[in-house]
Amino acid sequence: MKPEELLIATIADLLNGLGHVAVGAASPIPGAAALLARARSGGRLRISILGSEDHNPFTDGGRELFDCAAQGRIDAFFLGGGQIDGQANVNLVGIGPYPRTTVRWPGSFGSAYLYFLVPRVILFREEHTPRTLVERVDFVSAPGTSPAGVYRPGGPHALVTGRALFAFDRGRGRFRLLSVHPGETAGSIRSATGFAYDAPDKVPPTPEPDRETLALIRGPVAAEIAGTYPAFARRVFETPDPRADAC
């Protein structure tokens, strides 16, 4: 089992029972997880992967996605960030005091809008270090919590990293460690995380995908995700380059 396969299966477990999952651009692992969740649902799950020709029903990109979210027609979405803190705030702008950031990232785009509207936002970041999971982000692109009285049907549900899985308690505004990936311990996660969080006395391992799940990931999911992310599929699943067949 490759680390990416564990992450795909872990994220797919968070999508059980949903009706419509949307995935932004440059998100091969969440995209593959959505495809896996759809395969498990017998095709009942609707997925929208921006940037995909086969799995994107929108003709006007982000604007139609935003309309769907405002209408309550998207159940889950994914957000990442250069920094994520213990209150689930996301920073997509840069490092250092704004506007004199020393490092600039792509920008917030519609992150705050979707964070407020989509009921189950899953934060995803493969790198799990104190520089990415920080005590307080340098810039709040999208806030994890809102003051009382603010209408907010959406918000953070979980954080998946390359090392662990966290759930987010919206009432307390804190993460809780749910499981650690193979090779990790409660102590290694604590030392690699820059923010405080809750944890049980004994932290369980993240469940590994069974043979049936691995067969789905390495078979139909790999073939489908290759259409949108061919380099990712070649690296992880060793799928053939579709451009070679076209020559």
- Regarding whether 143 and 32 lie in a shared domain, the answer is no
Provide the b/e sequence for 27-52 (b: ≥16 CB within 10 Å): bbbbbbbbbbbbbbbeeebbbbbbeb
53-73 pLDDT per residue, tens: 778 777 776 788 889 999 999
- Regarding whether 192 and 94 lie in a shared domain, the answer is yes
Q: What is the 3-state secondary structure (H, E, C) of the chain?
A: CCHHHHHHHHHHHCCCCCCEEEECCCCHHHHHHHHHHHHHCCCCCEEEECCCCCCCCCCCCHHHHHHHHHCCCCCEEEECCCEEECCCCEECCEECCCCCCCEECCCCCCHHHHHHHCCEEEEEECCCCCCCEECCCCCCCECCCCCCCCCCCCCEEEEEECCEEEEEECCCCEEEEEEECCCCCHHHHHHHCCCCCECCCCCCECCCCCHHHHHHHHHHHHHHHHCCCHHHHHHHHCCCCHHHHHC
Residue-range definition of the domain harbouring residue 9? 1-74+210-247
- Regarding whether 148 and 67 lie in a shared domain, the answer is no
Q: What is the pLDDT of residue 242?
A: 57
- Regarding whether 58 and 21 lie in a shared domain, the answer is yes
Average pLDDT of the chain, as a whole number: 93
Q: What percent of the chain has pLDDT over 90?
A: 81
- Regarding whether 53 and 133 lie in a shared domain, the answer is no
Q: Please, which pLDDT band fits residue 22 given cuts at 50, 70 and 90?
A: very high
Mean pLDDT of 21-30: 92
Q: 246 pLDDT exceeds 60?
A: no
- Regarding whether 201 and 131 lie in a shared domain, the answer is yes
Q: 10 pLDDT exceeds 80?
A: yes
Number of folded domains that form the chain: 2
- Structure-model confidence comparison of residues 231 and 24, the more confident one: 231
Q: What is the pLDDT of residue 19?
A: 95
Q: Please, which pLDDT band fits residue 241 given cuts at 50, 70 and 90?
A: low
The CA distance from 212 to 195, in Å, is: 36
In terms of Cβ atoms closer than 10 Å to its own Cβ (0-12, 13-18, 19+), residue 113 is middle
pTM for the model stands at 0.93
- Regarding whether 230 and 129 lie in a shared domain, the answer is no
- Regarding whether 195 and 184 lie in a shared domain, the answer is yes
- Regarding whether 228 and 183 lie in a shared domain, the answer is no
- Regarding whether 88 and 198 lie in a shared domain, the answer is yes
Q: What is the pLDDT of residue 247?
A: 46
Q: What is the pLDDT of residue 243?
A: 55
85-138 pLDDT per residue, tens: 999 999 999 999 888 899 998 888 889 999 999 999 999 999 999 999 999 999
Q: What is the pLDDT of residue 137?
A: 97
177-226 pLDDT per residue, tens: 999 999 999 999 999 999 999 999 999 999 999 999 999 999 999 999 99
Q: 174 pLDDT exceeds 50?
A: yes
**Where is average pLDDT lowest: 35-49, 61-75, 161-175?**
61-75
- Regarding whether 107 and 50 lie in a shared domain, the answer is no
* Residues in a beta bridge with 85: 134
- Regarding whether 157 and 220 lie in a shared domain, the answer is no
For residue 173, the domain's CATH number is 3.40.1080.10
